[in-house]
Amino acid sequence: MENKKEIAIQVSGLEKAYKLYNKPSDRLKEALGLGRKKKYKEHYALKGVDMTIYQGETVGIIGTNGSGKSTILKIITGVLNATRGDVNVNGRVSALLELGAGFNMEYNGIENVYLNGTMMGFSKKEIDAKMDDILSFADIGDYVYQPCKTYSSGMFVRLAFAVAINIEPEILIVDEALSVGDVFFQAKCYHKFEEFKEMGKTIVFVSHDLSSISKYCDRVVLLNQGVKLGEGSPKEMIDVYKQVLVGQYVSDDGTNTSLLDDEEIEAAAAASADGIKTASSTEGINANVVNPELLEYGTRAATIETYKITDGMNRDTSTILKGKPCSVHMKVRFHEDVEAPIFAFTIKNIKGVEITGTNTLIEKAFLEPVKAGCVKEITFTQEINLQGGEYLLSLGVTGYEKEDFQVYHRLYDVLNITVISDKNTVGYFDMNSDVKVADANC
């Protein structure tokens, strides 16, 4: 007979409503009981959310800002009270929500460790036993004996994280907290996170880092505007999330669900009637996020009018799964005759290192003159084998006039690309090695 999984967290019909007042005096009048007319509008951060998390599971919660992710974590941990619904938690919880929220800035680091440990329900003896681990993990040296008000922001979050992560909880609640400090401290945080998984701890994980969601989570819950849209494997829910972002998700009742309002959807539809989204139409739309501080220059004999990235299913997106195809599109209008234009794109990491790129001359894809008034649509399609992370896309139209190289139009760092990966190898890209291990002499 199969053992039934024990429930760690049970959320039933959870709702959280906030009262929104037009002006502060309306709030005061209601508090004093003046007037019978309702002076507020209700905004629901959560609407009837059900969720069951079993012991030993790592469950991710995804959705854009305003979807209710942080709200549900705060209700689970007792920071907020629900308007309606029930939450039952079975196990001792450590929450990485607002790091250092319980710190006293006049106390030194050691005193704050005891203060926070006591608030979490630990005795002085239990905190003493953990002190060396906490200080070793924080690694802020003698600053631990100085008042916290003298700490840099990096030292402060390192100590706060170290306190929360070394308490040995049965349930760990994490809200965008694994990316604190420098890259070495982040690596230490993720290593500790993996240790928790191996120990069979229950983890609830909210993050905008979809690579981490894909790598660590057994199951993912997708929230949109306070409503639970679905739950399933990381791949399934990330795919649905991408559809929601661009207004292409159709719910079970046949309605189209989007994070955009009606005006934004209409503008996006009008701008992409020819299949290409313009830079102006992407404002506020997470399909292709345009850099507001992009660098552009050139003679303007030809100009890049529109551009976008699509995935293997031809959906506008800035999020690509590693190993899957994606296409870079641009539409170029020629204002003068150009003898032999070259269309190009490059991908850089966020440190500015050029990782890869190509152009139509290298690919021998287009070697023709173009007349003024012509419009060309260019599509580069390739598999993305970059490591998981954030990248920047640059586009260009160049060419040679006699022997002189000319830049007609360049757009540097115009779009962001997020690569999601559950397997990062060494370096910038994955060689997709086929590995065989055979007995030679055993």
Q: What is the CA radius of gyration of the chain?
A: 26
* Summary mean pLDDT of the chain: 82
State how beta strands 319-321 and 404-420 pair: parallel
Residue 109: Cβ within 10 Å count = 26
What's residue 254's pLDDT?
Answer: 53
Say whether pLDDT at 278 is over 70: no
State how beta strands 325-334 and 302-311 pair: antiparallel
Residue 357: Cβ within 10 Å count = 17
Q: Could you report the per-residue pLDDT of 44-87, keeping only the tens digit for each?
A: 889 999 999 999 999 999 987 788 998 999 899 888 899 999 99
Q: Residue 301, CB half-sphere, CA atoms under 13 Å: how many?
A: 18
Say whether pLDDT at 219 is over 50: yes
What's residue 305's pLDDT?
Answer: 95
Mean pLDDT check: name the lowest of 240-244, 287-291, 400-404.
Answer: 287-291
Q: Could you report the per-residue pLDDT of 150-180, keeping only the tens digit for each?
A: 988 778 888 888 887 787 788 888 887 666 6
Say whether pLDDT at 352 is over 80: no
Mean pLDDT check: name the lowest of 175-189, 362-376, 384-398.
Answer: 175-189
Say whether pLDDT at 186 is over 80: no
Say whether pLDDT at 402 is over 90: no
**What would the two tokens of residue 392 be?**
């920047």
Say whether pLDDT at 234 is over 80: yes
**What would the two tokens of residue 143 be?**
């600053």
Side chain identity, residue 183? V
Residue range 110-130: mean pLDDT, rounded: 86
With the CA atoms of 45, 51, 55 and 56 taken in that order, what torsion angle do they form, in degrees rounded to the nearest 10? -70
What are the residue ranges spanned by the domains of the chain?
7-237, 276-420
**What would the two tokens of residue 73 be?**
């974590």
Q: How confident is the model at residue 277 (pLDDT cuts 50, 70, 90)?
A: very low
Residue range 130-134: mean pLDDT, rounded: 91
Residue range 259-282: mean pLDDT, rounded: 38
Residue range 179-197: mean pLDDT, rounded: 73
**3-state SS class at 302:** strand
Mean pLDDT check: name the lowest of 65-74, 184-193, 197-206.
Answer: 184-193
Does the pTM exceed 0.75?
A: no
Domain made up of 7-237: CATH architecture: 3-Layer(aba) Sandwich (3.40)
CA gap 418, 211 in Å, rounded:
9
Domain made up of 276-420: CATH architecture: Distorted Sandwich (2.70)
**Contact between residue 250 and residue 257 where contact means Cβ atoms under 8 Å apart:** yes
